[in-house]
Structure 1
């Protein structure tokens, strides 16, 4: 869908692929994340890809996925699911502290789970739906 903006003489595109992004002042489109993966924590939108990009800079992390899990007080809570590199060690505190100062405090993970591997599609994409599934069992309304 195209939308004409007469004040700038430009067309804006409305994507229907469920991507979250923004248009900068020069007209460039930036895709941030998938809307279905967005976490709503305390009324704030948190994009997992933003945190995942930072966590991949941690020396002990081989793979990471950030998901929203149920939280009775805040809607969703932020959980990092981490695969460590062979022979490396890290604690949940290390992981959360690594992100501190690089993102706003409300975007910090509230919990970290260490796993041996992340579920993937045949094409290699992380299956975040499978990661979220056990946490949302028994909930009739999913925030995401």
Structure 2
């Protein structure tokens, strides 16, 4: 299941990863700063794409994962092309596997051939709204950021 970086207005579901409202330790402060930086870049990119082409205006919950990956990668590429064309230099983006295509060994979530039943839909909805899993994922992501990027440097 994919996750979305978001701000405080979203619910505490497992698919929405928010930074803590008040950083109480260095790990939270680092995570908060990196997430807010990423949110700023993403909002700018998607705002341009929505304004110019009407991309991604509708909910994506029932879309195929491989289609979402292609759309997101396309949005990033288009945004970088716009930034380069405007002469402001390309953003600092690197391929972290966003463009990965689902293989036959990937989960059936990414490439369903048949629609799911109502019961399965409801079960997935319950899993999606799991607040405890939200907290666990948020903590794990903070730990990952701290491990890979360390403390904040001097400002």
Whether TM exceeds 0.5 here: the answer is no
Q: TM-score, normalised by structure 1?
A: 0.30
* Structure having greater relative contact order (Cα 8 Å, sep ≥ 6): 2
Q: TM-score, normalised by structure 2?
A: 0.29
Task: Name the structure with the higher helix share.
Answer: 2
